[in-house]
Amino acid sequence: MKIGKMTIQETEDEIVEEFEMFGDWSEKFEHIIALGKKLPSFPAELQLEENKVRGCQSNVWLTTDLRDGKIHLEGDSDALIVKGLVALVLKVYSDHTPDEIINTPLTFIQRLGLSASLSPTRSNGLDSMIKKIKFYALAYKAKMNS
Amino acid sequence: MSSAATNITPLNITSIREDFPILHQKVHGKPLIYFDNAATSQKPQLVIDRINQYYTKENSNIHRGTYYLSELASNAYEGARDAIQKQFNAEKREEIIFVRGATEGINLVASSWGRKNLKAGDDVLITGMEHHANIVPWQQICIEKGAKLKVLPVDDNGQIHIDEFESMISEHTKFISVVHVSNGIGSINPVKEMIAIAHKHNIPVLVDGCQAVPHRKIDVQDLDADFYTFSGHKVFGPTGTGILYGKEKFLEDMPPYQMGGDMIKFVSFEHTTFNSLPYKFEAGTPHISGGIGLATAFEYVDSIGRENIEAYENELLHYADEKFNEVDGIRILGNTKNKIPVFSFVVEGTHPFDIGTMLDFEGVAIRTGNHCTQPLMERFGVSASCRASLAFYNTKEEVDNFIIALNKVIKMLK
């Protein structure tokens, strides 16, 4: 076990390793659903249009703030599986510097080998969520440099 | 849309399923259960073979060649038009326009008829269960012309009411565009009665027949529809095909929709004379293999028998309806008895996306989302639903297995 904060890549590798332990798809889903259930839902006052990452089929909400030069992320979704995946994206990307987020593409979702419907697409809103995180990272970076 | 109780031959589903090669495969290790027929239907081998034969032996451009192959292709394509004219009992072959699908059919009429005839203060009437393709083209031409789009309400059972329909017609109503069968909830609308009422007021009617044509035999003269359109891929034909039927008197009066080759008679840099019907509305090289394949799809459906299909699908509808209603926490949107086997549903405490995603791993293909009917979903107070839509190649056994999978998935999500 590594002491201190893991890099984005290390967290991704850890997640992929974790998923390799599961046998069939239902075990993988049970795990994702458990993660979704564990992630606290946004209070109604945060389920705002401005925090919404609109997907075709499910909604994702995202908030960001800068803490000691690192971006802290919180997220939620109305679909449980998407919420579980949001929890994983937060685990990977939250509390990293803008540079780390900008320079490290997210690969773990594809590596989990779930299905096309769970890859970051327009339909589940994950695609827009990741784009939005990158966008915030660029904006925070510009703000920090100014 | 009635069927005689006599002359019904029970379908041999095992043999019918043999005609659809795609059905015999495993998805995520489970036998495929294809319940997304309202989105698109699967293709019988006969259609696949016909398209293959076209590209293997007949491919060439139509209507212009002086050579053998072009004559072969032209005859096959125009033969397909004749077959489709017969299939829909249109009075004339000139009334059958090949389009890319119902979306193009509706856009053609909204754009061509609408631009010429609509003006400020006019109304266009649609229903609350239209597909986006029968909302947006009318909405946009209304905005352009300063006309108003009026919407006939849908009741809690997912039905529209004739008296309410009649009461919404006024001297401002210039056009009516209605869906024959709802893609969202499967309700069959009384379009023949609606057309009769509209015609008392001299208002032309377009019928979006996308979900009706795969399930019922359509007679455009019996309906007295002024326009009737559908997509070929939903009726076991190729994607990118469709038909717009229009009464000759309307089509003659309408300006061309797209300009290009094949739709002209004479072109100079200053002036163009347009071709006659149906070619006036068929600019450019068409989807030749698609049109031929579409006619073959109807040939296939006829070989099974429309009445036989309807009888079997009704049996499947009632069987599935009972099984669906037994699922704990399920709410089926629209519960009219007069419907096709389409089940739009939500399950208490679950999100449709989660259900659809997990059913995929059970080999089940259904649609989740708003089914391109956002206003209809809103009408039922949901933003999305799951939709299982069945065709005549589906079985009761598949319904049983679907329910087992659905219950398993719901249990995991709760």
DSSP line for B311-334: HHHHHHHHHHHHHHHTSTTEEES-
Tell me whether A37 touches chain B (CB under 8 Å). Answer: no
Domains in chain A and their CATH numbers? 8-145 (3.90.1010.10)
B372 a catalytic residue: yes
Tokens of B98: 């090949």
How far is Cα B243 from Cα B290, in angstroms, rounded to an integer?
11
What confidence category does residue A103 fall into, taking pLDDT thresholds of 50, 70 and 90? very high
Q: Which of B176, B180, B136 is nearest to B152 (CA)?
A: B176
Q: What pLDDT is stored for residue B2 in this prediction?
A: 47
- Per CB-CB distance under 8 Å, the chain A contacts of B358 are 29, 81
Distance from CA of A29 to the nearest CA of B (A): 8
How far is Cα B162 from Cα B218, in angstroms, rounded to an integer?
21
Q: Does residue B278 have a cis peptide bond before it, meaning omega lies within 30 degrees of 0?
A: yes
pLDDT, tens digit only, all 414 positions of chain B: 444 456 899 999 999 999 999 999 999 899 999 999 999 999 999 999 999 999 999 999 998 778 999 999 999 999 999 999 999 999 999 999 999 999 999 999 999 999 999 999 999 999 999 999 999 999 999 999 999 999 999 999 999 999 999 999 999 999 999 999 999 999 999 999 999 999 999 999 999 999 999 999 999 999 999 999 999 999 999 999 999 999 999 999 999 999 998 898 999 999 999 999 999 999 999 999 999 999 999 999 999 999 999 999 999 999 999 999 999 999 999 989 999 999 999 999 999 999 999 999 999 999 998 889 999 999 999 989 999 999 999 999 999 999 999 999 999 998
Q: Which residue of B has its CA nearest to A80?
A: B354
- Per CB-CB distance under 8 Å, the chain B contacts of A26 are 361, 412
Distance from CA of B412 to the nearest CA of A (A): 7
Q: Which amino acid is at B10?
A: P
How far is Cα A89 from Cα A86, in angstroms, rounded to an integer?
5
Tokens of B5: 């109780």
Q: Which of B294, B175, B298 is nearest to B226 (CA)?
A: B175
Tell me whether A56 touches chain B (CB under 8 Å). Answer: yes
User: What's the order of all strands across the beta sheet hosting B330-332?
Assistant: B330-332, B342-347, B385-389, B367-369
Distance from CA of A114 to the nearest CA of B (A): 9
Instruction: List Cβ neighbours of B60 (8 Å cut-off, separation of 6 or more).
Output: B67, B69, B70, B72, B73
Tokens of B220: 């455009």
Domain B13-36+305-409 listed as CATH 3.90.1150.10: yes
Distance from CA of A134 to the nearest CA of B (A): 25
DSSP B280: G
How far is Cα B285 from Cα B294, in angstroms, rounded to an integer?
17
Q: What pLDDT is stored for residue A115 in this prediction?
A: 64
Q: Which of A30, A56, A118 sits opposite B357 (nearest CB)?
A: A118
- The per-residue pLDDT for range B111-144, each reduced to its tens digit, is 999 999 999 999 999 999 999 999 999 999 999 9
Q: A80 and B413: CB-CB below 8 Å?
A: yes
Tokens of A49: 């249009």
Contact B373, B387 (CB under 8 A): no
Q: Which of A25, A58, A124 sits opposite B361 (nearest CB)?
A: A25
Q: A57 and B28: CB-CB below 8 Å?
A: no
CA angle centred on B98, ends B92 and B99, rounded to 5°: 140
Q: B412 and A29: CB-CB below 8 Å?
A: yes
Q: Which residue of B has its CA nearest to A81?
A: B354
| CB < 8 Å from B in window 2-21 of A | none
Using the predicted structure, report yes or no on whether residue A37 has a pLDDT greater than 70.
yes
Q: Which of B350, B352, B360 sits opposite A117 (nearest CB)?
A: B360
Q: Which residues pair with B33 in a beta bridge?
A: B364
Domain boundaries, given as residue ranges, for chain B: 13-36+305-409, 48-302
Tell me whether B161 touches chain A (CB under 8 Å). Answer: no
Distance from CA of B411 to the nearest CA of A (A): 11
Q: Computed over its alpha carbons, how large is the radius of gyration of chain B?
A: 22
How far is Cα B374 from Cα B391, in angstroms, rounded to an integer?
24
Q: A33 and B413: CB-CB below 8 Å?
A: yes
Instruction: List Cβ neighbours of B344 (8 Å cut-off, separation of 6 or more).
Output: B184, B185, B186, B332, B333, B334, B371, B385, B386, B387
Strands B173-179 and B205-208, by their bridges, are parallel
- The per-residue pLDDT for range B68-104, each reduced to its tens digit, is 999 999 999 999 999 999 999 999 999 999 999 999 9
Using the predicted structure, report yes or no on whether residue A110 has a pLDDT greater than 90.
no
Q: What is the separation, in whole angstroms, between the first and last Cα of chain B?
A: 42
CA angle centred on B328, ends B324 and B334, rounded to 5°: 45
Q: Which of B28, B357, B384 sits opposite A81 (nearest CB)?
A: B357
Alpha helices in B328-395 (DSSP H): 352-360, 374-379
Distance from CA of B362 to the nearest CA of A (A): 9
How far is Cα B143 from Cα B327, in angstroms, rounded to an integer?
44
Tell me whether B350 touches chain A (CB under 8 Å). Answer: yes
Tell me whether B348 touches chain A (CB under 8 Å). Answer: no
Q: What pLDDT is stored for residue A48 in this prediction?
A: 82
CB pairs under 8 A between A and B: 46
Q: A25 and B352: CB-CB below 8 Å?
A: no
How far is Cα A46 from Cα B365, in angstroms, rounded to an integer?
35
Domain B48-302 listed as CATH 3.40.640.10: yes
Q: What pLDDT is stored for residue B3 in this prediction?
A: 46
Q: B353 and A29: CB-CB below 8 Å?
A: no
Higher local confidence (pLDDT), A107 or B196: B196
Instruction: List Cβ neighbours of A44 (8 Å cut-off, separation of 6 or more).
Output: none
**Choosing from A48, A56, A138, A142, which is the catalytic residue?**
A56
* Beta-carbon count within 10 A of B367 CB: 23
Count CA atoms closer than 13 A to B312's CA, side-chain side: 21
Q: What pLDDT is stored for residue A116 in this prediction?
A: 64
Tokens of B212: 């009706």
From start to end of B186-308, where are the E strands?
Answer: 205-208, 227-231, 242-246, 264-267, 272-274
From start to end of B82-225, where are the E strands?
Answer: 96-99, 123-127, 148-152, 173-179, 205-208
What confidence category does residue A146 fall into, taking pLDDT thresholds of 50, 70 and 90? confident
